[in-house]
Structure 1
Amino acid sequence: MTALRVERISFAYGERQALHDVSFNTAAGGFTALLGPNGAGKSTLIALLTRLYDVQQGDIQVAGFSLRSQPREALRRLGVVFQQSTLDLDLSVEQNLRYHAALHGMPRKVANDRIEVELDRQQLAERRKSKVRELNGGHRRRVEIARALLHKPSLLLLDEASAGLDPASRQNLNDHVRSLCNEQGMSVLWTTHLLDEVQPGDELIILNRGNLVAQGRADELAAADGSLQQTFARLTRNAVPA
């Protein structure tokens, strides 16, 4: 089974080409890391996946549904945690989740049941009445993950989700998301520019200057150069400076 299929995607901002004929698949039930330096095209790809931008060329399928021809069905199977938080800081954890459930048209009993499941899974039950602004960065990310999973998506997309977190919180978040894959069978696409967030057995996709420059298991890609750091440096030595 394929969680995400990206087929020959190209995208341009006017005359500037941001993505060049990018194609890849991610397997269902696994953790896939999308790695690239600043300017690689990750943000543009995320914007296309979430339909912030319309696909110009090619196609994207989520759980077999095309974003071009079946956008509603495709987006229904996608859960998203954006780099910039979109939580309402003055609402409680539970109120943020209820608002999301209402947007998805969930009946109240269904929403109640799913909120309880996600609060427990994210270890947030004791903070359900806390306002989001009272939470630290790591707990806010957990609220966003709980919200993204409420409608039971086929694919969880995390766009630079560890940005702004301290090293310990980054590691805890990365471990937590991996546990969703291992214990719940969740399909995850984790985008990052940080090599230490990638583990040897991860399926890895590397973008640079809008091109897909490598795809495979991280340890197998690293073997050619002796380390993932050296492989990444070789593949992105013409990267756009930050």
Structure 2
Amino acid sequence: MTEIALAVENLSFAYGAKKALDAVSFKVQSGECTILLGPNGAGKSTLFSLITRLYDAREGRIELCGFDIKKQSLQALARLGVVFQQTTLDPDLSVTQNLRYHAALHGIGRKAADKRIQEELERLAMFERRGEKVRQLNGGHKRRVEIARALLHRPSLLLLDEPTVGLDMPSRQAIVSHVHDLVSQQNLAVLWATHLIDEIAADDSLIVLHKGQVKASGKLSEILHTTGWADPGQVFQKLTQGSQA
């Protein structure tokens, strides 16, 4: 039976009089990559801030792996891995030092941490660069380290907030491919916020967010079949007309 990694119900949030999210509801299943597609200003970053508890929602409910994010914060957030849009690595520490620090925050012992660090870096073809300072890495390699870091504590849900912005095409393609491999091989749930159509795979689920509202939600194939539209680009265009990406 497929487990629900993330359930968002009637979530609303406002910055003063400006409503950023309006009764947003959706679910993300284990073993599924869900693309959160929307133009800039759609509410994607606000949604991620609420899921990670950087902001506190007054209206609605968020559950991570069955744990209420307000009432059971520690249990919920322990199952969450996050890669933010802006890098959060310490540039003056080495790759290994950054990852060991994260592992220690999650209570992972040194021996177990080093084993997991090696596994994740090898999977991302970064193990040979483990001793380099982060500031020596290019943007694509920094992103790989951040993905490795987010997976060290074996989360059930991985949040990716525009992780490929500013990267060249080979780096973007490598990250897209790696994340989809994780989903299929490890039964990981992924919620990937983007406005880049070419990052969507045919078997992904799709949530189209526009002006704080969910305009479509479901398997990409089902949305295309129901609407009769040709591809994700047309879905995006039709549902977010008048917006600027």
Fold match by TM threshold 0.5: yes
For 2:95, give the aligned amino acid.
V
Match of 1:14 among 16, 22, 25: 16
Report deviation, 1:125.
1.3
Structure 2: runs of 5+ lacking an equivalent = none
1:29 matched residue in structure 2: 31
* Residue 221 (1) aligns with residue 223 (2): yes
Equivalence map 1:93-242=2 (5 Å): 93-223=95-225, 224-239=228-243, 241=244
Q: Are positions 1:56 and 2:58 aligned together?
A: yes
SS at match of 1:38: coil
User: Which one-letter code corresponds to 2:235 in the other structure?
Assistant: T
How far does residue 155 in structure 1 lie from its aligned partner after superposition? 0.5
Q: Take 2:229 and 2:104, find their aligned partners in 1: how far apart are those partners?
A: 50
Would the aligned equivalents of 1:6 and 1:61 in 2 still touch at CA under 8 Å?
Answer: yes
Other-structure match for 1:68: 70
Q: 1:119 to 1:226 in 2, by over 3 A?
A: closer
* CA drift at 1:90: 1.2
SS at match of 1:113: helix
Distance across 1 between alignment mates of 2:232 and 2:111: 48
Q: Using the TM superposition, give the Cα deviation of residue 139 of structure 1 relative to its aligned residue in structure 2, in angstroms.
A: 1.2
Matches of residues 72-87 of structure 1 in structure 2 within 5 Å?
72-87=74-89
Displacement after TM superposition at 1:200 (Å): 1.9
Structure-2 separation of matches of 1:231 and 1:136: 33
Which moved further from structure 2: 71-80 or 184-193? 184-193
| Shift, 1:103, TM fit | 1.5
Q: 1:122: how far off?
A: 2.0
Q: Distance in 1 between matches of 2:53 and 2:96?
A: 27
Q: Distance in 2 between matches of 1:159 and 1:132?
A: 20
Further displaced range: 140-149 or 115-124? 115-124
**Within 2, Cα distance between the matches of 1:80 and 1:32?**
15
Q: Report the AA paired with residue 225 of structure 1.
A: W
TM-score, normalised to structure 2, is: 0.95
Write the distance in 2 (CA, Å) between the matches of 1:238 and 1:57: 28
Shift of 1:4: 0.6
Give 1:226 shift.
2.4
What SS does the corresponding residue of 1:176 show, helix, strand or coil?
Answer: helix
Deviation digits for residues 135-182 of structure 1 (CA, Å, limit 9, x no counterpart): 121111110011111111110111000011012211111111111112
Q: Separation in 2 of the partners of 1:187 and 1:231?
A: 23
Aligned length, in residue pairs: 241
Q: CA deviation at 1:132?
A: 1.0
1:105-141 deviations in whole A, cap 9, x for unaligned?
A: 2222222222222222222211110111111211111
Identity %: 56
Determine if contact 1:222/1:230 at 8 Å carries over to the other structure. Answer: no
Question: What SS is found at the alignment partner of 1:237?
Answer: coil
